[in-house]
Chain A
Amino acid sequence: MKRSHLTILTVLLIVGVIFATGVFTIEAQNPKKLIVSNFADANSLDPQMVSDTASFWIQNQIYEGLVRRTPDMGVQPALAEDWKFIDDRTIEFYLRQGVKFHNGDEFTAEDVLFSYQRLLDPEFGSPGASRLAMVDIDNVEIIDDYTIRIPTKEPFAAVLTYLAHSASLIISKSGVEEHGDAFGENPVGTGPFKLNNWRQGDEVVLDRFDDYWGGPAEVDQLVFRAIPEGTSRTIELETGGVHVSRGIERVDLDRVDNHPNLVLHLYEALRINYMGFNHEAEPFNDLRVRQAIAYALDHNEIVQAVYGPLGGPATGYINSNIWAFNPDTYLYHRDLDRARELMAEAGYADGFSTKIAINDDATRRSLAEVVSYQLEQLNIQTSIEVYEWGAYLDMTGRGDHEIYMLAWLASTGDPHHAMHPLFHSSNKGSAGNRQFFDNPRVDELLEKGMVETDVDQRMAFYQEAQQILSDEVVWIPLADDREAVGVHVSVTNFEPCPSGYHMFHKVGLE
Chain B
Amino acid sequence: MATEATAVKTSARRKQRTKLQETWRRLKKNHWSMGGLILIVLLGLVAIFAEQIAPYGYNEQDYMNMLQGPSRQNLLGTDNLGRDVFSRIIHGSRLSLSIGFITTAIGLSVGGFLGALAAFYGGRIDNLIMRFMDVILAIPGFIFAIALVTALGPSLTNLMIAVGINTIPYFARIIRSSVMSTKENEFVEAARVIGSSDLWIIFKHLIPNSLAPILVQATLRIGDTIIIASGLSFLGLGAQPPLPEWGALLSAGRGYLRVAWWMATFPGIAIMITVLAFNLLGDGLRDALDPRLKN
Contact = CB atoms under 8 A, between A and B. Distances in A.
Contacts of B81: 305, 366, 369-370
Contact of A373 (B61, B67, B257): B61
A304 B62 CA distance: 12
Contacts, number: 62
B66 A386 contact: no
A231 B153 contact: no
Contacts of B154: 360, 386-388
B63 interface: yes
Interface in B166-205: none
B61 A387 contact: no
A275 B80 CA distance: 21
B140 interface: no
Contacts of A235: 258
Contact of B241 (A231, A234, A251, A384): A384
Contact of B256 (A251, A304, A305, A384): A251
A185 interface: no
Given A251-B258, A362-B252, A370-B61, A305 B66 contact: yes
Interface in A255-280: 255
Contacts of A387: 153-154
B150 A230 contact: no
Interface in A418-439: none
A222 B276 CA distance: 49
Contacts of A252: 258-259
A366 B80 CA distance: 8
Interface string B237-260: 000111000000000101111111
A289 to B, nearest CB: 23
B137 to A, nearest CB: 26
A89 B280 CA distance: 78
B241 A304 contact: no
Interface in A172-230: 229-230
A370 B61 CA distance: 8
A357 to B, nearest CB: 11
Contacts of A472: none
B155 interface: yes
A301 interface: yes
Contacts of B16: none
B291 to A, nearest CB: 31
B254 A231 contact: yes
Contacts of B155: 385
Contact of A372 (B82, B236, B242): B242
Contacts of A391: 153
Given A369-B241, A385-B155, A304 B259 contact: no
Contacts of B61: 305, 369-370, 373
- B interface, size bucket: 20 to 34
B236 A386 contact: yes
A301 B63 contact: yes
A249 B150 contact: no
B98 interface: no
A502 interface: no
Nearest to B62: A305
B59 interface: yes
Contacts of B256: 251
B150 A385 contact: no
B240 A385 contact: yes
A365 interface: yes
A251 B61 CA distance: 18
Interface string A371-399: 01100000000001111100100000000
A368 interface: yes
Given A366-B80, A366-B81, A373-B59, A230 B255 contact: yes
Interface residues of A, number: 27
Contacts of A251: 67, 80, 255-256, 258-260
A421 B242 CA distance: 32
Per DSSP, chain B at the interface is loop
Contacts of A305: 61, 63, 66, 81-82
Contacts of B67: 251
Nearest to B259: A251
Contacts of B80: 251, 366
A368 B243 CA distance: 12
Max chain B Cβ within 10 angstroms of own Cβ: one of A234, A251, A252: A251
B242 A369 contact: yes
Given A304-B63, A369-B59, A384 B153 contact: no
Given A304-B63, A305-B66, A231 B258 contact: yes
Interface string A273-313: 00000000000000000000000000001001100000000
Nearest to B150: A388
Given A301-B63, A388-B150, A365 B241 contact: yes
A376 to B, nearest CB: 9
Nearest to B242: A369
Contacts of B252: 362, 365
Contact of A360 (B63, B236, B257, B258): B236
Nearest to A360: B236
A500 B155 CA distance: 34
Nearest to A249: B255
B152 to A, nearest CB: 11
A391 B254 CA distance: 25
A465 to B, nearest CB: 34
Nearest to B236: A360
Contacts of A386: 154, 236, 240-241
Contacts of B255: 229-231, 249, 251, 362
Contact of A368 (B66, B236, B241): B241
Given A362-B255, A366-B81, A370-B81, 9 more contacts: A231-B254, A255-B258, A305-B82, A362-B252, A369-B59, A369-B61, A372-B59, A385-B155, A391-B153
30 contacts: A229-B255, A231-B254, A231-B258, A234-B258, A249-B255, A251-B255, A251-B260, A252-B258, A252-B259, A255-B258, A301-B63, A305-B66, A360-B236, A365-B241, A366-B80, A366-B81, A369-B59, A369-B61, A369-B242, A370-B61, A372-B242, A373-B242, A384-B240, A384-B242, A385-B155, A386-B154, A386-B240, A386-B241, A388-B154, A391-B153
